[in-house]
Chains A and B, each alone.
Chain A
Amino acid sequence: MTRGDRRARLIVVGNGMAGARVVEEVLQRDGEQFEITMFGDEPHGNYNRISLSNVLAGSEDPRDIFLNPLDWYVENGVTLHTGRRVVAIDRFARTLRTDDGGVHGYEQLVLATGSRPWIPPVDDVYVGDPEHGKLKPGVFGFRTLGDCDEMLAWAEQASHVAVVGGGLLGLEAARGLLERGMKATLVHRSDRLMNVQLDHEAAATLQAAVEALGIDVLLDTSTSAVLGEDRVEGLAFADGSQLACDTVVFSTGIRPNVELAARGGMTVERGIVVDDAMRVLDEDHVWAVGECCQHRGELYGLVAPVWEQATVLADRITGAKPTAEYHGSKLATKLKVSGVELATMGLSEPEPAHDEVVRFSEPSRGVYKTAIVRDGKLVGATLLGDMGKVSFLMQAFDRGTVLPDERVALLFDLGGPSTEDSIAELPDDAQVCNCNGVTKGDIRSCVAGGEKTLRGVMGKTRAGSGCGSCKSQVVEIVESAAGGALEADPAADLYLPCIPMPKPELMAAVREHGLRSVSAVFETLADGTQDAKAKPALASLLRLVWGTEYEDERDARFINDRVHANIQKDGTFSVVPRVSGGVTSAHQLRRIADVVDKYEIPMVKITGGQRIDLLGVPKEQLPAVWKDLDMPSGYAYGKSFRTVKTCVGSDYCRFGLGDSTRLGITLEERFKGLESPAKLKLGVAGCPRNCSEAMVKDVGFVAVEGARWEMYVGGAAGAHVRKGDLLCTLDTEEEAMLVAGRFMQYYRQNAKWLERTYTFMERVGVDEVRAVVVENRDGDVDQLDTAMQTSIDAYSDPWLEAQAPATPNQFHTVVTS
């Protein structure tokens, strides 16, 4: 068999961060000389594994952590086989075999097989035959996007997680699941958290900070068995005690994937043994990189060493630098647990004979800092609770630079320049992004080369795209390098990816061309290309522009808005009638109870928005349920104004300063069902005790002394937690209604699709919003009032469609001819 392509064949086994990084580095150095093929176990492109903790915690979208989307492989002529395993290597014939029987020849082979979580020998971790162990339902490792997905799906019906292993990843997993509303207990064998990186005092300070977040910590506790017959019910410990829980995450370290190399006859100890060239010992054509390899006796589980290895490997394999050598890495790491700041580097304990130690401890504030100096150089440091000096220390640790004579200056700025200034004063060769090895100079020259947007600079240099902890420094350097010429990222303001216009521009184009339906917008502004996912966004925008003149095409609506109910995981729907301000009556409750009985509704739930949710209603029954309820829709399914949560207010409460229920009901009656870029949840509190949580609502009012109302906007207490910005204080309920309407209209006109007010306020800024909405700086309030009134006038209760369906078979999933 002959090949058309005469280039040397480079095969990379493993499509994780290490494998993909090698290919990237090779491509940068005359990659044309190779025909490149990659094999990956996981069914996606390459993603940033460091960000999995953020995905678990919900602070990052899984889609945003991809480093190399599949397009990248195509664009660079790299053949990627996903989900296909390499099962054997014949290093003499220079071929490898895949699990489907395919045989692939190579001239150069790179093993980047990574590692897998190691689960300690604990009883009853597996169900069925322990040889072919399947983890007991509820037991997880924490390693891949798949693990993350499964954990999150499981977490929906679970309430208490025990994380076994008190290292970096264990802490991040516990925090992530805590964010998802679970109770979290951290179980650790050692006598202190992060015992590899921290000394006793630092660990104690960290433990206090972690416990303050709400995570229970069990130290000196060795897990002996997982309890529960066919799913997790708890853990048993070596001392005989037990812990009840329904989820277990093992974060007890990793083991390199070396089996393939070992079967192929390569030298394997703990990892695949490589020399300083990153070549597998005694092999001319096989290389290894990343967590699967062992270099000078060391295994590395952090990202910075992997990058350094990939660089050397690429230098060698392409011949760009035939003498390049890897000499090992210095280890520094940061914990990504929101609410706890921790950076460690190098040694945690000094060797008493020669080392100088500078230590500062203030446990009541959760601050602990230490620096270890040997022969005038920094060999270790820990910063907990105060990251003021982190860039300076990282720099000193990495480069071995000269330290200040006054050692205390290692830990504090002594009346000197503030942290911000110290970033400006960093030398150009100072490394800013430790994950990707990007220096301040790299960032500055990228800006000088014409890249004027933050996203562009981050894309080109990769600064800030690892763990993300240096992002604020990157922003600062880019801003100063651009000298104020930093351009806003155009994509950041687009309403939709398929039509390249910011929202105000898109609204103007829609008006100008008289586009009243979603299909007309696609026809005129997107060359006739319909984007299914963009339909609901456009429908929302058109309704905002045209009000009653909008030509409603039902197919542009998400299923929830087609049938005015919220689809559930089993395809049934939930029904939430409007109960304005959460005030109901015996009559309403009786009717709801009758409906529940009549339709045998399986679950009735009081919602967080003070309403009653009827769950498990088949689509076919929705019209009948609505008719019998004889209540209007609560819009609990739409991107719209949802509900106003209120406290008891002044009628009965002995602390009430304002009539919160009345204002809540008036707000809900006026703005009910209002179309919006994302859902709007409001709250009104009758006094600053804030029982209805008004400060963490999209719009919230809090009554204060003197019968006045404080208005908060952009609050959140869901996936994100943010206290709302105090927009203004208003004298009367009428004013409160007016400004609420103006704010919501301004938000409707300027927010991106699905952009909640908390993101919107961060993006626009409270000063700007106040200037427009409260101070009427631009003379816009009349337009806002008029537009809002038009939308309010267009309201009709969608549940009236029970009488007259809007489309054929509107409430039928299955149609029989």
Chain B
Amino acid sequence: MSTPSDVERTVGHISAIPVDEGRMLRVDGHLVAVFHLRGGGGGVRATQPWCPHRGGPLADGLVGDATLVCPLHGRTFALDGGEAGPDEVGIRTYPARVDDDGAILLTLPADGPLPACSDDVPATAPPGPQAGTAPFAEDISQAPDPGSSPR
């Protein structure tokens, strides 16, 4: 629930995310997964970036009717509220909307940018080079201009 003291801020442009797909966006050095919905009147949803099960990248998951499926082992979460399948751990969600200019606005909790937790590292740090960070290199030179429409 938003309260007046919560902070709403622009985190990106809707054109950066294809319809019914997700991408991770950076906020104050933290990552948030944002999904661009086709159904239910469109709009965006925002969640924590990693699956609580084995640290899968949620932004790479399948989406349908505000349900999200983790790409690694198929854990399912509600994009509204973050509830998981029966008796599984849910995910954190954040209020998000798109304004008339297509800017994605994320409401952050009033008591800090994002809860101080290890959101940027998968729950079980996977092996491999620079676990957890290498796959998401910061190279964005090939990102399309904001404003070009998804096809």
State the A residues within 8 Å of B (CB): 43-45, 69-70, 82-83, 519, 522, 528-536, 553-555, 558-559, 562, 567-572, 600, 602, 616, 618-621, 623, 805, 807-817
Contact = CB atoms under 8 A, between A and B. Distances in A.
Nearest to B62: A532
A532 B72 contact: no
25 contacts: A522-B64, A530-B65, A532-B67, A532-B76, A533-B69, A553-B19, A555-B18, A555-B62, A558-B62, A570-B55, A616-B128, A619-B136, A623-B142, A808-B150, A809-B17, A812-B140, A812-B143, A813-B60, A813-B136, A814-B24, A814-B25, A815-B23, A816-B12, A817-B13, A817-B25
B118 to A, nearest CB: 16
A531 B65 contact: yes
Interface string B56-96: 11011111110111011010100000000011100000000
Given A82-B87, A553-B20, 14 more contacts: A528-B39, A530-B39, A535-B62, A567-B72, A570-B122, A570-B128, A570-B135, A571-B135, A620-B137, A808-B144, A809-B23, A809-B144, A814-B137, A817-B12
B60 A83 contact: no
B20 A558 contact: no
Nearest to A555: B20
CB-CB nearest 3 A-B residue pairs: A532-B64, A570-B126, A555-B20
A808 B69 contact: no
A813 B24 contact: yes
A535 B21 CA distance: 12
Contacts of B10: 817
Q: Dominant SS at the B interface?
A: loop
Given A530-B64, A531-B64, A812-B23, A571 B69 contact: no
B52 interface: no
A456 B14 CA distance: 49
Contact of B134 (A569, A572, A809): A572
B4 interface: no
A530 B88 CA distance: 22
A570 B131 contact: yes
Given A44-B86, A814-B136, A817-B13, A571 B60 contact: yes
Range of interface residues on B (Cβ < 8 Å):
35 or more
Q: Dominant SS at the A interface?
A: loop
Contact of B57 (A808, A811, A813, A815): A813
Contact of A571 (B12, B56, B64): B56
> Considering residues A570, A619, A805, A809, which has the most beta carbons from chain B within 10 angstroms of its beta carbon?
A570
Contact of B15 (A522, A602, A808): A808
A114 B131 CA distance: 40
> Considering residues A44, A562, A600, A816, which has the most beta carbons from chain B within 10 angstroms of its beta carbon?
A816
A768 to B, nearest CB: 33
B18 A808 contact: yes
A815 B17 contact: yes
A571 B23 contact: no
Contacts of B25: 814-817
Contacts of A531: 64-65
Contact of A807 (B54, B129, B140, B150): B150
A571 B68 contact: no
Nearest to B104: A817
Contact of B21 (A43, A534, A554, A618): A554
Given A555-B38, A570-B135, A45 B20 contact: no
Nearest to B129: A602
Contacts of B132: 570-571
B51 to A, nearest CB: 10
Contact of A815 (B16, B69, B122, B128): B16
Contact of B16 (A70, A620, A808): A808
Interface in B82-121: 86-88
Given A616-B129, A809-B16, A809-B143, A43 B148 contact: no
Nearest to B50: A571
A817 B12 CA distance: 5
Nearest to B146: A817
Contacts of A572: 128, 134-135
Contacts of B19: 553, 555
B62 A533 contact: yes
B16 to A, nearest CB: 5
Nearest to A623: B142
Contacts of A43: 87-88
B31 interface: yes
B139 interface: yes
B18 A554 contact: yes
A528 to B, nearest CB: 8
